[in-house]
Amino acid sequence: MSTVQGTLEGVVLMTRHGDRTKFYQDPNSYTGYETHITPLGEAQTYLTGQYIRSRYIAPGAPAQISGISEDTIDLDQCTVTADAAAESNVIVISAYSMWQGMYPATAQSNVTLANGTTVVSPLSGQQYLPIQTVEFAQSPLLEAFTSCPAYTAYLAGFYNSTAYTSKSNASKPVLGKLPAVVDGRATALKDMYNVYDYINVNNIYNATYATVLANTTTVAQANDLSNWVSYYAFSGPTNTSAGNIAGRGMMGGLITSMQTIANASTGNKIQHYSLSYKPFLSIFNMTGAAQSSPELAAVVSDEMYVNMVFRNNSVAGTEVKPYKLLGRDQVKLNDFVSAFNSSALYTTLDWCRACKQNSSINACDSLLAYAGSTTRSGASASATATGAALGSAGSDSHFSPVGAGFIGAVFGIAAASIGWYLLARNTRKKMASRGKVTISDPVPLDSYTDGRASDSKNPFK
């Protein structure tokens, strides 16, 4: 970040996968079924890697990480974790593709033998980085909503809430015309993720289908409804709510990664998590980033600071945009930890307690018995309390339009990325603002006139 005084010590990356084939999820549990990455998806994540390299790694990069190895991968500097439980192998392959862009093949990847012969790695110096893949049985934290009774109860409460019912009633004109284009699939409001996924994939790969929908509002309207449902399905009204369970599972890893980078003795510079969209939504909600209007400000400290930036990688030429954390431009690492430590999940036992899971799944019964407790202070509320919290759209500030619009920047684009900067501050200087980025309200369903939403209403298009 060359526009701000200070040293960029490292980056924690959260990235989404690239394009894939159709992916069905049970709307009552978000259990997913098989899908596969496409060559388009691999290309998207490769380009994401190229962008990250150009900004943070390459010689002369405008926001180069201090001490980063520029051309060859230093395994001590980089740690990659990929969710292997969600969306088949799509997320794992996306991580590999991205790192090919971050550290491309180079003749410097070589070794000289005793006889003087120099051997270059295969494929003109292709570089390989170990990726830690995480199945749900190994750790539930990257898929914390899975097999989580507290989350299932939260979701049921959401579907029974006044806000959901009102949205469903208002959307009947749109919902009524969808059966004709989704080949008999369910088209209730809660099914909109699957509806939009079906429409979007066919619109990309089926020329006949795309022609039929070309001059209609169907794609945009299905996307709008899918965005709304998905955001509130994974963002509760409080940080300890089961609605934020996907983010709570991720938050423990984020905090640990930040602390690892902040500890100079580790030598770690990049911690990367390759994920599905669910943790993104919860993290945006928990940190207050969805409500931010970012701009840069003054800093003065010798402490480590955390910044959050987001990039829509599907739009060529798009730069990263900073977002406020806890209502501030920058947050001390210690303050960040203090704010989220109580809601973060660090272990499977934490997850068992937060999810009210006491069965043999992930050995929760044994873990709870050993710990001698089945409750945790601040754990998720009961289904009754959840239903009450969601019962009135008019009184529940969680159902705000800004959140519903913000999801379009996360859920609706491929290969999105969040960067968490750790900067060592040692200067006192007021920096010029780079301007505000306003998060607009979602485009109303009745605002579509020609099949496209006005770009002025959606800053992420």
Closest to 404 measured CA to CA, from 439, 371, 354: 439
pLDDT at residue 5 above 60? Answer: no
Q: Count of CB atoms within 10 A of residue 110's CB?
A: 12
Could you say which of 3.40.630, 2.60.120, 3.40.50, 3.30.1240 is the CATH number of the domain covering 7-107+122-156+232-445? 3.40.50
Q: Check: CB of residue 308 under 8 Å from CB of residue 327.
A: no
Start-to-end CA span in the chain (Å) = 25
Helix pair 348-355, 364-371: axis angle to 10 deg: 100
pTM of the model: 0.80
For the stretch 353-404, pLDDT in tens is 999 999 999 999 999 999 985 454 433 333 333 333 333 333 343 444 434 3
pLDDT at residue 442 above 60? Answer: no
- Alpha-carbon span 137 to 152, nearest angstrom: 19
| Whole-number pLDDT of residue 228 | 94
Provide the percentage of residues in the chain whose pLDDT is more than 70: 75
CA distance readout (Å), 88 to 33, 48, 253: 8, 21, 22
User: Mean pLDDT over residues 307-323, rounded?
Assistant: 71
CA distance readout (Å), 179 to 185, 186, 191, 192, 376: 7, 8, 12, 12, 45
pLDDT at residue 131 above 70? Answer: yes
| Whole-number pLDDT of residue 61 | 94
User: Is the pLDDT higher at 195 or at 311?
Assistant: 195
| Whole-number pLDDT of residue 299 | 23
Please report, as a single letter, which amino acid is at residue 308. Answer: M
User: Mean pLDDT over residues 134-157, rounded?
Assistant: 96
Element (H, E) at 222: helix 218-233
CA distance readout (Å), 374 to 130, 356, 357, 381: 37, 8, 9, 14
Report the greatest alpha carbon distance in the chain: 78
User: Mean pLDDT over residues 136-153, rounded?
Assistant: 96
- Backbone Cα Rg of the chain: 22
Give the phi and the psi of residue 302 in degrees, each rounded to 5: -105, 10
Please report, as a single letter, which amino acid is at residue 436. Answer: K
CA distance readout (Å), 75 to 60, 79, 271, 369: 22, 7, 11, 39
User: Is the pLDDT higher at 434 or at 71?
Assistant: 71
DSSP state of 107: T
User: Mean pLDDT over residues 93-113, rounded?
Assistant: 95
In sequence order, which ranges of 321-382 are alpha helices (DSSP H)? 333-340, 348-355, 364-371
Per DSSP, the chain holds a count of helices (H) and strands (E) of 16, 10
pLDDT at residue 139 above 90? Answer: yes
pLDDT at residue 455 above 90? Answer: no
**What is the band of 322 on the pLDDT scale with cuts at 50, 70, 90?**
confident
| Whole-number pLDDT of residue 460 | 22
For the stretch 221-265, pLDDT in tens is 999 999 999 999 999 999 999 999 999 999 999 999 999 999 999
Helix pair 149-159, 383-390: axis angle to 10 deg: 30
Closest to 49 measured CA to CA, from 122, 114, 102, 104: 102
Q: Count of CB atoms within 10 A of residue 246's CB?
A: 32
pLDDT at residue 32 above 50? Answer: yes
Give the phi and the psi of residue 95 in degrees, each rounded to 5: -65, -45
